[in-house]
Amino acid sequence: MSGDGGGPPRLGFEVLALCLVSLLCFCNLAIFYGFYNYLEHLNIDPALRGPLLALEPLTALALRPYLSTRLTLGNSVAAMGLGIGLAVLALASYPVATAAPALAAVRVLHGAGYVILASGLMTAFTHLIPPGRVAQAYGLLSLTTLLPSALMPPFVEAVTPHLPGPGWAYAMAAPLMLVTAPLLLPVARKVRALLVELAPGQDARPGWSEVLRGLKAPGVRTLLAGQLLLISGHTIVYFFMKSWALHIGAGNPGLFFTCVNLSTIAVRVLGMEQLDRLNPARTTGLALLFLAGLVPMFSLAESEAALLGLAVPFGAALGLMMPLVNAAMYRVSPEHLRAANANLLLVALDAGFILGPVIGGHMLAAGASLPLLFTVCGGVLLLGGLCVLPVARQTPAQGKAA
From 142, 172, 205, give the residue that closes a domain: 205
Q: What is the pTM of this model?
A: 0.74
Q: Could you give the residue ranges of the DSSP H alpha helices within 301-337?
A: 304-332
Please say which residue of 178, 205, 232 terminates a domain: 205
Residues 383, 370 within the same domain: yes
191 and 180 in a common domain: yes
Give the residue ranges of DSSP H helices in 160-219.
168-171, 173-178, 180-197, 208-214
If we measure between CA atoms, which residue out of 231, 397, 401 comes closest to residue 328? 397
Same domain assignment for residues 132 and 231: no
Picking from 177, 205, 233, the residue at the C-terminal end of a domain is: 205
Number of domains in the chain: 2
CA–CA gap between residue 135 and residue 324 (Å, rounded)? 6
Provide the residue type at 156 as one letter. V
Judgement on whether residues 235 and 356 belong to the same structural domain of the protein: yes
Cβ-based burial of 311 (10 A; exposed 0-12, middle 13-18, buried ≥19): buried
Q: What are phi and psi of 135, to 5 degrees?
A: -65, -40
CA distance 126 to 209: 21
Distances (CA, A) of 402 to 2, 15, 265, 271: 10, 17, 20, 12
Measured CA to CA, the distance from residue 21 to residue 147 in angstroms comes to: 13
Is residue 213 domain-shared with residue 196, that is, in the same domain? no
Q: Which domain holds residue 42?
A: 1-205
Can you tell me the distance from the alpha carbon of 22 to that of 93, in angstroms, rounded to the nearest whole number?
22
Q: How far apart are CA 248 and CA 305, in angstroms?
A: 11
Q: What is the pLDDT of residue 171?
A: 93
Q: What pLDDT shows up at residue 257?
A: 80
Closest to 296 measured CA to CA, from 358, 376, 355, 362: 376
Burial label for 45, CB within 10 Å (0-12, 13-18, 19+), is exposed
C-alpha 46, offset from chain centre: 28
Task: Note whether 214 and 105 are same-domain residues.
Answer: no
Mean pLDDT by 10 residues, the chain (402 residues): 54 88 89 79 84 83 84 92 96 94 95 93 88 78 80 79 89 90 92 78 64 82 96 86 86 79 85 81 96 96 93 93 89 82 84 82 86 96 96 80 43
Q: Are residues 386 and 260 in the same domain?
A: yes
345 in the same domain as 252: yes
Instruction: Give the number of C-alpha atoms closer than 13 A to the C-alpha of residue 230, restricted to the C-beta side.
Output: 32
Percentage helix, strand, coil for the chain under 3-state DSSP, each rounded to 5: 80, 0, 20
Q: Are residues 220 and 159 in the same domain?
A: no
Do 73 and 103 fall within a single domain?
Answer: yes
Question: Is residue 167 located within the same domain as residue 270?
Answer: no
Say if residue 196 is in the same domain as residue 238. Answer: no
In this structure, what CATH number is given to the domain that contains residue 156? 1.20.1250.20
What local confidence, expressed as pLDDT, does residue 194 receive? 85
